[in-house]
Amino acid sequence: MLGRNRIQIKTPEQIRTMRRAGLVVAEGLAAMGAAAVPGATTADLDRIGREVLARNNASSNFLNYGADWGIPPYPGVACISVNEVIVHGIPDARELHEGDTVSVDYGAIVDGWHGDGARTFLVGDVSDEVRELSEATRESMWAGIATIAAGARIGDVSAAVQISLESHERSYGIIREYTGHGIGTEMHMDPDVPNWGRAHRGPRITTGMCLCVEPMATLGSEDTATLDDEWTVRTVDGSWASHWENTVAVTDTGLWVLTEPDGGKAELEARGVPFGPID
């Protein structure tokens, strides 16, 4: 199961189980996105995430994460990050307001196999620059996903994300400290999938690999700061951030985006990328 560089290769049956976890993630993200309205708290969203896990007999891969690291274990089932918070925001009594953005990173475990995804939700009427940031980050995620194929390299994915984010008239900060990753029987596994890099470099992608493509971008600097809670990561300059992520499986016939309700079919076909669900 673990090949060169300790990269985990999955069987079709194992990928099918990861699809079940991915569908729980998709359901939870959709439910939390629908609830991201003015007046809701980030704790309200986390509660909804817990309800989705319970309804699907799934467990959380976020709750108590880090307990063995000598830092406070993460207390939520979702990382809920508002405005200038990039990632790892802790759910609490903070209320959402008209014009806010909220990035939700959420995961699930089904029969020992993990799914992981993130979305940036827009709360009510937001500014054009915030809307464009979220769309640019989402598009860079799909640009990276579209390069995944057996025989390609991780650097191809990283370069595609970077090129996409740098293709806009406005300059975005590309977060370098936090990256995408492999996933399977653990949430974070080899290989790392940076959001910048050079094509044709890094580990070779093979059938049976599952990867999380996870760009984070800001309206300003890429510099980050971690708060005293040892989790919450925000921008140093106060600029707002966006975060998107999907879990992707490489199959014999193409790609299966495990955390999208349609398996990524619409987005992949629009980009001319083979869609490869496992029956």
Listed residue (55, 58, 35, 37) closest to 46, CA to CA: 35
What does the pLDDT look like over 24-37, one tens digit per residue? 999 999 999 999 99
pLDDT digits (tens, 9 = 90+) for 131-154: 999 999 999 999 999 999 999 999
Q: Is residue 23 part of a domain?
A: yes
Amino acid at site 17 = T
Q: What is the pLDDT of residue 4?
A: 42
Q: Is the pLDDT of residue 69 over 90?
A: no
**What CATH number should be reported for the domain holding residue 209?**
3.90.230.10
Structural domain contains residue 7: no
pLDDT tens track for 166-200: 999 999 999 999 999 999 999 999 999 999 999 99
Q: Which domain holds residue 32?
A: 12-271
pLDDT value at residue 156 = 98
Cα–Cα distance for residue pair 170/151, rounded to 1 Å: 33
Kindly state whether residue 277 falls inside one of the protein's structural domains: no
- The residue-averaged pLDDT of 113-124 equals 98
Contact (CB, 8 A) for 214 and 179? yes
Rounded to the nearest 5 degrees, what angle is found at the Cα of 31, between the Cα atoms of 25 and 34? 140
Q: Are 248 and 256 in contact (CB under 8 A)?
A: yes
Question: From CA 146, how far away is CA 68, in angstroms rounded?
Answer: 36
pLDDT value at residue 5: 53
Q: Please report, rounded to a whole number, the percentage of residues in the chain having pLDDT higher than 70.
A: 98
Average pLDDT of the chain to the nearest whole number: 97
* Residue 209 confidence (pLDDT) above 50: yes
Q: What is the identity of the amino acid at 40?
A: A
* CA 127 – CA 100 distance, rounded (Å): 9
Is 3 a member of any domain?
no
Look at the chain and report how many structural domains it folds into: 1
Dist. CA 249–CA 212, nearest whole Å: 9
**pTM, two decimal places:** 0.97
| Helices assigned H by DSSP within 80-153 | 128-146
- What CA–CA distance (Å, rounded) separates 34 from 158? 31
Give Rg (Cα) of the chain: 17
Is 60 exceeded by the pLDDT of residue 2?
A: no
In a domain, 202, yes or no: yes
How far is it, in rounded angstroms, from Cα 19 to Cα 21? 5
CB crowding 232-271: b at 16 or more within 10 Å, else e: bbbbeeebbbbbbbbbbbbbeebbbbbbbeebbbebbeee
Residues in the annotated binding site for substrate = 88, 188
Average pLDDT (213-228) is: 98
Q: Report the pLDDT averaged over residues 104-133.
A: 98
Average pLDDT value for residue range 53-75: 95
Q: Which two tokens stand for residue 71?
A: 């830092």
**Residue 105, phi then psi, degrees to nearest 5:** -110, 125
Residues in the chain: 279
What span, in angstroms and rounded, lies between the C-alpha atoms of 244 and 36?
16
Binned at pLDDT 50, 70 and 90, residue 217 comes out as: very high
Beta pairing class for 180-182 and 189-193 = antiparallel
Question: What confidence tier does 3 reach under pLDDT thresholds 50, 70, 90?
Answer: very low
Q: 3-class SS at 245?
A: strand
As a whole number, mean pLDDT of residues 40-44 equals 98
Amino acid at 74: Y
Label the pairing between strands 78-82 and 101-110.
antiparallel
- pLDDT at res. 96: 98
Residue 4 lies in a domain: no
Domain annotation covers residue 1: no
The reply to whether omega before 191 is within 30° of 0 (cis) is yes
- 278 in a domain, yes or no? no
Q: Is residue 220 a contact partner of residue 235, using CB atoms and an 8 Å limit?
A: yes
Q: Residues annotated as binding site?
A: 88, 105, 116, 181, 188, 214, 245
- List, as residue ranges, the binding site for a divalent metal cation: 105, 116, 181, 214, 245
